[in-house]
A and B are shown apart, each in its own frame.
Chain A
Amino acid sequence: MTATTTLPAIELKSVGKTFRVSGGILGKDRHVVAVDGVSFAVAPGGVLGVVGESGCGKSTLARLILGLLTPDSGDIAVEGQRIVDMDRKARARLIQPVFQDPFSSLNPLTRVRDIVAMPLQAQGTFSRAEIAKRVDEMLERVGLPGEMGNRLPAELSGGQRQRVAIARALVLRPRIVVCDEPTSALDVSVQAQILNLLAELRRDLGLTYLFISHNLAVVEHVASEVAVMYLGRIVEKRPTQALFHQPEHPYTQALLASVLTPEPGLGVPDVGLGDVMPDPANIPPGCRFHPRCPVAEPRCSTQMPPLRPRPGGGVECLLAS
């Protein structure tokens, strides 16, 4: 095996990002810690699912990996190259996003064919004929054949729009796709179509996915490993099977308990999290989950939990053995 094939597709080393939010004329500026000391690696061809509640930093993480934001600290490498050192065109050939809302991520005045052609045109190295050929192939591949290319986004359904977004992401044949809640805006019947398409494309094109979702059932279905984020930190990361069968962090356990599977008679579970909501501008000392943790001990409010290694990842909890 050569050195290049063993390089992780995505590698983060103690990445941090803090935003300053203006407090107005009289108020003090607040510092919102979006991502804090995040490290992980995703093997080529893998799917890392990232789950967590809103405000946990998962979308900031996606933007950092895409190079749309610069980290305050730490390093992000994609296929061994630092993302901040790459120019936009090279980055676009390597890594592409699919966002949540196919209604706002497509230009309403541009035909589907031109939307998908845009990344190729931006590269400036493709001939017109080549662009047309690639766009046709790609549209066919995502299930939008023939005259669909001449339509405007408004003439498409939500699922079809998300197919356009996927075609646009894949037309440059990137190696890595960052999917930020790709099916959250879709109905379940359409969600299943899109998830199946993403799985098929990954298999056929050998892609690596970072798959962000708040829907744990979806993540379980698509991801090979899962990272659970809480207030900017990854509190548990393990292979999917292990995480779903034996979650160790109390937060992971609470998240899994709140998944309402379609099984009648089980009732709504008590997740035991209380009504204190996490505030990224006001991070608690010690373990940041302790104010909501049902099993917290006094030491949890003072000591930072260490990372306890596990096969394929680890868990950050003082109470884990």
Chain B
Amino acid sequence: MSALLEIERLEVGFGGRTSAVRGASLTVERGETHCLVGESGCGKSVTALAIMNLLARGGHRTAQRLTFQDEDLLKLDDRGMARLRGNAMAMIFQEPMTSLNPAYTIGSQMTEVMRRHKKVSQRVATDRAADLLGRVGITAPGLRLGQFPHQLSGGLRQRVMIAMALMCEPQLLIADEPTTALDVTVQAQILRLLAQLQRDLGLGLLLITHDLGIVARIAHRVSVMYAGEVVESAATAQLFADPKHPYTQGLLRCVPVPGKQRQDEPLGSIPGTVPRIGPGFEGCGFRDRCSFADATCAHTVPHQTAAPGHDYLCRLAP
């Protein structure tokens, strides 16, 4: 059986000026948590939106392959895509306040998703909503169903978003920075919940984040994105133990770890900023910030394999 989600050489451009995603490939297996990690502007959110066909106006996607459960997403029309979204593939966004409708109760928003996709009565949908709210750790689900989003804290709203995404028993859940707006304590609770649900329901989870701490703790597999490309991809333990791409190495050195660095020692940092990349760009997108770059990096970037399942884009030998 092929993987749950397969993406090969995805390209996303906006109006011929910016190439947001440049030939990114990644695969999400059933029951796997795959983290897509990178800094702002690297194309990770655009990748998620391209999968869901929710790109902003002017955005255009092409790919050699983009399949979900062997169904070709590139060939699906809007109706076909609408049939999948919220149903077999669901998405959670960063800001729960802006993705919930402030004028409707939690209950009506949750049941709407299910009644749209499945032929069920309001009664059945309400029961399922209450059941899921309980499952994501919300006490008094009956009360919460009648409340409006503004009556809930940020952590509760994000739990509601997760419960809503699970209404139709999706196979694939895409979560775009689901905990970035939350406090660290709430973040830990939400991630624990996501990991548990992923295990219990056998979901494929594509988690987008900029936080390497989250990646290390929750991912089975990691893809590192930089300037629109997946520059390195490996099993989590492998990537943290033996990062190959200079960007991945630099990123790992930037993160302060309690008890690991001395205070008077400067943190590792990556000089410079992310370049803006337009169509026709050649070579390695990281070369201007890379201390190992040489003249060849402006032309070709070899695709190398360090170990089975550990691939990276760099001229440096494994």
Q: Which of B67-75, B79-87, B264-272 contacts A (4 or more CB under 8 A)?
A: B264-272
Select A261's contact among B195, B258, B268, beta carbons within 8 Å: B258
Select B216's contact among A245, A256, A261, beta carbons within 8 Å: A261
Select A260's contact among B216, B237, B274, beta carbons within 8 Å: B216
Question: A-B pairs with CB below 8 Å: how many?
Answer: 147
What per-residue 1/0 map shows which CB atoms of B170-207 lie under 8 Å from chain A? 00000000000001111111011001000000000000
Task: Decide if A216 touches B258 in the complex (CB within 8 Å).
Answer: yes
What per-residue 1/0 map shows which CB atoms of A192-227 lie under 8 Å from chain B? 110110011000000000000011111011101000
Task: Decide if A262 touches B252 in the complex (CB within 8 Å).
Answer: yes
Which residues of the partner chain B approach A259 to less than 8 Å between Cβ atoms? 184, 213, 258
Which residues of the partner chain A approach B241 to less than 8 Å between Cβ atoms? 264
Task: Decide if B137 touches A264 in the complex (CB within 8 Å).
Answer: no
Q: Which of B233-280 contact A (CB under 8 A)?
A: 236-237, 240-241, 250-259, 261, 263-264, 266-271, 273-274
Which residues of the partner chain B approach A199 to less than 8 Å between Cβ atoms? 264, 266
From known contacts A189-B39, A268-B217, infer whether A258 and B273 are also in contact, taking CB-CB under 8 Å: no
Task: Decide if B187 touches A258 in the complex (CB within 8 Å).
Answer: yes
Closest CB-CB distance, A199 to chain B, in whole Å? 7
What per-residue 1/0 map shows which CB atoms of B214-230 lie under 8 Å from chain A? 11111000000000000
Residue A122 lies at the interface, judged by CB distance under 8 Å to chain B: no
Residue B155 lies at the interface, judged by CB distance under 8 Å to chain A: yes
Task: Decide if A258 touches B213 in the complex (CB within 8 Å).
Answer: no
Task: Decide if A189 touches B251 in the complex (CB within 8 Å).
Answer: yes
Task: Decide if A262 touches B269 in the complex (CB within 8 Å).
Answer: no
Task: Decide if A268 touches B192 in the complex (CB within 8 Å).
Answer: yes
Identity of the chain B residue whose Cβ is nearest the Cβ of A54 in the assembled complex: B183
Task: Decide if A275 touches B258 in the complex (CB within 8 Å).
Answer: no
From known contacts A221-B261, A267-B217, infer whether A188 and B251 are also in contact, taking CB-CB under 8 Å: yes
Which A residues have a C-beta under 8 Å from some C-beta of B? 53-54, 157-160, 187-193, 195-196, 199-200, 214-218, 220-222, 224, 240, 244-245, 254-271, 273, 275, 277
Pairs of residues from A and B, 5 with the lowest C-beta to C-beta distance, nearest first: A260-B213, A192-B269, A187-B39, A258-B188, A189-B270
- Can you list 18 residue pairs at the A/B interface with Cβ under 8 Å? A53-B183, A157-B274, A187-B210, A188-B39, A188-B251, A191-B254, A192-B253, A196-B269, A217-B256, A221-B256, A221-B267, A240-B263, A257-B188, A264-B237, A268-B191, A268-B195, A269-B192, A275-B159
